[in-house]
Chains A and B, each alone.
Chain A
């Protein structure tokens, strides 16, 4: 991305651009509109033709849509947790970031909620989940928690967008936000973690791992959006503050890696044969390339780079390791989902019915996403970026002029320390 995509840098931010939209802005809006159109088109095509147009089968019954759902729920962690967490521990370090961070969170949660629809065989009946919920289903609870999270994010945004932010209101909101944020990731993990049929998911560590992975990808995403918005929309974030986020991510990466190691070690040395079998798919089997990429490029490399204070204060370096961490967490979600589906518990010949005419049995248990799925994923990405763009234009930019003074204070504070 070049400079001045949204508005010119240092220009006075305005919701209705006074001097007419720039070419870069028009291109950006065009890209978003095209992405949304592709996504919507693929979704409608799938809706009319059935889920058979995807690469899913009776064996791999959940695929990229559910991976995206897990990933987006996790990606929402960064903003709300960093903002609420700083509020509770009383640090003003990330104050300038709060609006943008919450915008990213709300956009991710809203997109995650939307990501469920294309996975449904009959999206037109989704309302039945609300009018006749089965309270023993974790999916119902996840829907309730996600909705609550979305509402709280909305309230957060409302409070943050008012001319003068009430400190007491922020503190109270933070006290509600933090537990709900932790619940969102836990309940999403329990959709998978409470199943006896899937040993690889059925671990008490799944919820903690979802939280740690969420913190990694969430923080990385906030860094990326902040860097992009600083370059293109004239938002004022100091390198030092962003480096502080990098420092947070360092610890989140360490926690995430530790939980993963604990899980793998316990399973390898003392797990049930079924569990070990599914783990081997990840360690040395079909998913090994994804797994080792995730570990080396998504965890080890970012960790080494971020542990150096000089490197993590460089925007380019931060951007690269953030991309790596986000991709790493995405790969991790794929590994978690597919390893269990590739190895059904009852795995005798000829296997599970393939499901489509002419495809009696699915012995190979292969999953290759089709163009329809990629199209819908493009739509999800465009939807997320559209929400972020609207949020930056309508909430973050107008808010920035209000706390210009605070920004200057923040900068002065940093210089005093440097």
Chain B
């Protein structure tokens, strides 16, 4: 970014200072073990498909127009089409989808320059300085969550938000579980911003953590488990028996 962002103009030096206190109320995170393994549970019973987490992800990480690191998939033919369409028994389900931060990540294996690497807490990160733009990682990702910088980026607002560094044209990017926030002890923005509190973030190595408890009690499952990628994002199936 050439110009200082709105947040920088306010004189804030850190994410923590720039945020309104309300965002901190849900936002603190703490490792439960000496070697944390950061992961997330997404409660599909709570998710209302509002796209708040997708939108805040875009501004938090300055994701250019046309690109998404996090999006909300609708089970069904289209965004607004219920999967079960019988009158009186309509029901809709959503699958919020971003990088699954796999323990055995295919993208990490295939990256020819190790630009994609395993960072602190087992998160999968991209070092854009080393990305040559071969898009092997995109071909190898079973979840289709990586996006490429096809040309000069356009932002909304036009100058971007400036929370994180812009990625160069010709490189690949994706969800970092808000590494810049985690560095300051804050949860990823999709977590604190969820109006339904459908996301639980925490240390998967800590058996007493809220996230592990939720995964256990709700019998959490992972996407494409049979591919053996060992994602660190779990989904908690809705418990209600009857459609709304």
> Could you tell me which A residues sit within 8 Å of B by CB distance?
49-53, 56-59, 61-62, 116, 119-123, 125-126, 128-129, 132-134, 136-140, 143, 191-192, 195-198, 341, 344-346, 348-350, 352-361
Contact = CB atoms under 8 A, between A and B. Distances in A.
Nearest to B73: A348
Contact of B151 (A50, A119, A126): A50
Contacts of B95: 346, 348
Interface residues of B, number: 58
A140 B113 CA distance: 9
Contact of A349 (B64, B81, B171, B227): B81
A132 B224 contact: no
Nearest to A202: B227
Given A128-B132, A197-B106, A361-B71, 17 more contacts: A50-B151, A62-B135, A120-B132, A121-B171, A121-B172, A122-B131, A132-B114, A134-B109, A139-B110, A140-B112, A345-B143, A345-B224, A345-B227, A348-B74, A349-B74, A355-B67, A360-B66
A349 B73 contact: yes
A9 B198 CA distance: 79
B151 A197 contact: no
B90 interface: no
Contacts of A133: 112-113
B24 interface: no
A334 to B, nearest CB: 15
B223 interface: yes
Contacts of A51: 133, 148, 150-151, 170
A137 B135 CA distance: 12
B36 interface: no
A195 B112 contact: no
B121 interface: no
B134 interface: yes
Contacts of B111: 134, 137
A136 B114 CA distance: 9
A27 B210 CA distance: 75
Contacts of A132: 113-114, 130
Contacts of B114: 132, 134
A143 B132 CA distance: 14
B56 interface: no
B154 to A, nearest CB: 4
Contacts of A140: 112
Contacts of A355: 66-67, 147-148, 150
B144 A58 contact: yes
Contacts of B195: none
Given A51-B133, A132-B130, A137-B111, A353 B147 contact: yes
A53 B151 CA distance: 8
Nearest to A354: B66
A356 B110 contact: no
A346 B96 CA distance: 12
Contacts of B130: 125, 128, 132
B110 A122 contact: no
B18 interface: no
Contact of B142 (A191, A346, A353, A359): A346
Nearest to A341: B139
A350 B79 contact: yes
Contacts of B151: 49-53, 356
A70 to B, nearest CB: 13
A119 B224 contact: no
Contacts of A126: 132
Nearest to A353: B68
B38 to A, nearest CB: 22
A350 B142 contact: no
Contacts of A346: 73, 95, 97, 142-144, 223-224
A350 B136 contact: no
B110 A138 contact: yes
Contacts of B113: 125, 128-129, 132-134
22 contacts: A50-B151, A50-B170, A51-B133, A58-B144, A121-B149, A122-B171, A128-B113, A128-B130, A132-B130, A139-B136, A192-B139, A196-B140, A196-B228, A344-B144, A345-B227, A346-B95, A346-B223, A350-B71, A352-B144, A353-B66, A355-B67, A357-B65
Contacts of B135: 61-62, 119, 121
Q: Which of A138, A195, A354 has the most CB of B within 10 A?
A: A195
Given A119-B134, A137-B109, A349 B150 contact: no
B15 interface: no
B152 interface: yes
Contacts of A143: 112
B244 interface: no
B22 interface: no
A245 to B, nearest CB: 35
Most B Cβ at <10 Å: residue of A133, A143, A197: A197
Contacts of B71: 350, 353, 361
